[in-house]
Structure 1
Amino acid sequence: MRKVIFLDRDGTINIEKSYLHKWEDFEFEKNAIEGLKKLKKLGYEFIVVTNQSGIGRGYYTEDDLIALNNEMMKKLKEYGIEILECFYCPHHKEKGIGKYKVDCDCRKPSPGMLLEGIKKYNVDINNSYMIGDKKGDLEAGEKAGLKSILVLTGYGKNTVKDIEDNYLIANDLLDVTNLVK
């Protein structure tokens, strides 16, 4: 079984930018690469799970997102960091358009993307984590049976006021390495 860290993308791996979908606008969060390198040395593999309602709202396409994720994975690979897969939810039950206007089980805080990753990659949930900057990330991790860690990057500094004490908190992905075993 695999030890995996499930990662939210926007605000966790990269700097939060409204409906980011172009590689030229992508910037890694402070200490993200260093943190991922250290987590890899601790034996973790990585899966990205990201809500992308911008697709459902018609702001950009699934192809735009896939191209951006592929560039991110290519850049991370240059640092020796491999992402097993990037799962994404394009849906939004109120603001989605057409086929994207659905109440799905993949949009965080629902655990659908995580459960799919757990099954597909034979993840050891007792030794794996969900890391993100929003309450929905933490709740999705909890619903999937994972320990969840809030990072204070992205929306994390605002989120910290609204979460229960049962979640671990780290300044950024490098600081996460002090909380995992």
Structure 2
Amino acid sequence: MNPTVKKTRALFLDRDGVINVDKGYVYQFEQFDFVDGIFELLLRFQKAGYLPVVVTNQSGIARGMYEVSDFKHLMNKVQEVFTSKGIVDVPVYFCPHHPDQGDGKFTVECQCRKPKAGMFYDAVAELNIDVENSIMIGDSWRDIVAAQTASVSKHYFLRGKPIPQNADMTNVDIVEGLNEIQP
């Protein structure tokens, strides 16, 4: 890669629990309820020069609950809403795998399922991301661990799910809602 090409700062976001209300295995637009403040958050960061990037585990695919095509169709609908609000095209990286749930080609141990950092590494390489000046917002500790492994510099954890006792809290802010997060 050309070192003179300017890298892009990313705002990495988990999907379920950050972009939409986590109802478990959401794959139809009719089930998709946006989290309060998500549009304002994306616009704030976009204006500050960050590219929003979704990184999401989707084990419902491995479990046979829905297909990759269902997930992609839903995310196309989500992008239509984003576009109508003035939000740029948001790249989506997803892991369809589960190490032991399901019965098929997606039931494997992989490098992309968070807390592993494969989705981040792919995004950094493909989108020319300045990972050291990027941010992660997650609602599960595995989101934070994956971002830390990928050297994302700042992390916001949406309060709700437990934090492990031995958790590395370096550069992690715990927040109640998206309105607390600023570029």
Report how far residue 91 of structure 1 moved.
Answer: 0.4
Q: Distance in 1 between matches of 2:87 and 2:18?
A: 15
Report how far residue 51 of structure 1 moved.
Answer: 0.2
Q: Does 2:167 align with 1:132?
A: no
1:167-178 map, 5 Å: 167-177=172-182
Q: Does 2:60 align with 1:65?
A: no
Report how far residue 160 of structure 1 moved.
Answer: 4.4
The answer for the alignment partner of 2:54 in structure 1 is 48
Name which of 79, 93, 101 aligns with 2:99: 93
The answer for the alignment partner of 2:122 in structure 1 is 116
Normalized against structure 2, the TM-score is what? 0.90
Instruction: Please say which structure displays the higher CA radius of gyration.
Output: 2
Q: Distance in 2 between matches of 1:165 and 1:144?
A: 15
Report how far residue 74 of structure 1 moved.
Answer: 1.0
Q: Distance in 2 between matches of 1:157 and 1:40?
A: 26
Q: Distance in 1 between matches of 2:91 and 2:132?
A: 20
Would the alpha carbon gap of residues 142 and 83 (structure 1) be closer, same or farther in structure 2, given more than 3 Å must change?
farther
Residue deviations 1:59-105 (CA, integer Å, cap 9, x gap): 01111100011111110111111244111101001103211111000
Q: Which has the higher helix share?
A: 1
CA contact (8 A) 2:117 2:146 kept: yes
Name which of 138, 158, 162 aligns with 2:161: 158
User: What secondary structure, in the 3-state scheme, does the structure 1 residue paired with 2:132 have?
Assistant: helix
Report how far residue 112 of structure 1 moved.
Answer: 0.3
CA contact (8 A) 1:96 1:102 kept: no
Q: Does 2:36 align with 1:24?
A: no
Q: Does 2:9 align with 1:6?
A: no
Q: Distance in 2 between matches of 1:89 and 1:158?
A: 21
Identity of aligned residues (%): 36
The count of aligned residue pairs is 175
User: What secondary structure, in the 3-state scheme, does the structure 2 residue paired with 1:48 have?
Assistant: strand
Residue deviations 1:99-118 (CA, integer Å, cap 9, x gap): 11110000000000010000
Q: Distance in 1 between matches of 2:34 and 2:79?
A: 12
Q: What 5-or-longer segments of structure 1 have no aligned partner?
A: none
Q: Distance in 1 between matches of 2:21 and 2:12?
A: 17
Q: Distance in 2 between matches of 1:160 and 1:176?
A: 19
- Compute the RMSD of aligned alpha carbons: 1.5
